[in-house]
Structure 1
Amino acid sequence: MPVIHSADAQVHEVHNARFTSLVRPGTGSAELCVWQTEVEADSVGVPHRILGEEAFVLLSGEVTMTIDGESAPMKPGDAAVAPAGSMIALANSTDEIATLLVTVRVGFAAELADGSTFTPPWAS
């Protein structure tokens, strides 16, 4: 199927964010995963180590991206790349939802603080 309609996308709600799965093996991709993340207002994401490179583009709102302890604000149109093995976290200190477009390679996983590995369903 060449087009994945947003109405057909799987949606997952984890912690303070909503993940809308767009491109992934389950929708026909062999190499790439793309999803939209909505970060709730006035929230701090769970820090985690990513086991593959991850790229972010902020579509709306404002967030603070932290990669390996270095934090920077992002405004719409800004992008960030987190290298494999880095510890990342997203925070939204505003009163509006922030929306990002995120991409990784198929097989992406993350390691949580307790040492467990998590393969997000929106990337598989």
Structure 2
Amino acid sequence: MPIIQASSAPTFDLPNATFTGLAAPSRGAEETCVWKTRVHPGAEPGLHSFDHEEVLVVIAGAAVAVLDGVEHPVTVGDAIIVPAGVEFGLGNPHDEPFEAVVALPVGALAFMNGKSLVPPPAQ
């Protein structure tokens, strides 16, 4: 059973968020990808969808989850279940960072801005 040390987990930065790769095929996972998402204060939602269900568990802060255009406030301990094909994004109108742990099946494709890709933390 591979252990991914936090100190060696890869990070991926976007303007409004940082992703820390935990479990993925490149790190020994065969069925499930897991990463930590940190949404920076003041961030607007980066809308996207997946071809598989995505599950997020809030571990720090608060945010606004946008699912199919409807805004939902979320905070520590909440779970967000995003069905396949549903447009989703997280915005952080607060002064503190927001963090969630995300789980997604290996091989799931993201769709954003007319393009499809396997997100880097899931590779």
- Check the 8 A contact 1:15/1:45 in 2, yes or no: no
Distance of 1:33 and 1:15 partners within structure 2:
22
TM-score (norm. length: structure 1): 0.94
What residue number does 1:89 align with? Answer: 89
Distance of 1:51 and 1:17 partners within structure 2:
22
What residue number does 2:30 align with? Answer: 30
Amino acid at match of 2:37: T
- After superposing on structure 2, the runs of 4+ consecutive aligned residues of structure 1 that deviate more than 6 Å are none
What residue number does 2:42 align with? Answer: 42
What residue number does 1:73 align with? Answer: 73
TM-score (norm. length: structure 2): 0.95
Query: What aligned pairs does 1:1-124 form with structure 2 within 5 A after superposition?
Result: 1-113=1-113, 115-124=114-123
Amino acid at match of 1:58: V
Return the offset for 1:8.
0.9
Local SS of the residue matching 2:101 = strand
Return the offset for 1:52.
1.4
Distance of 1:88 and 1:50 partners within structure 2:
9
Local SS of the residue matching 2:64 = strand
Q: Which runs of 5+ in 1 are unaligned?
A: none
Amino acid at match of 1:117: S
Amino acid at match of 1:69: G
Q: Which runs of 5+ in 2 are unaligned?
A: none
Amino acid at match of 1:118: L
- Check the 8 A contact 2:11/2:18 in 1, yes or no: yes
Local SS of the residue matching 2:84 = coil
Distance of 2:69 and 2:14 partners within structure 1:
23
Cα displacement string for residues 1-50 of structure 1 (whole angstroms, at most 9, x for unaligned residues): 53110011010001310000000011101000000010000111221122
Equivalences, count? 123
Cα RMSD, aligned residues only: 1.0
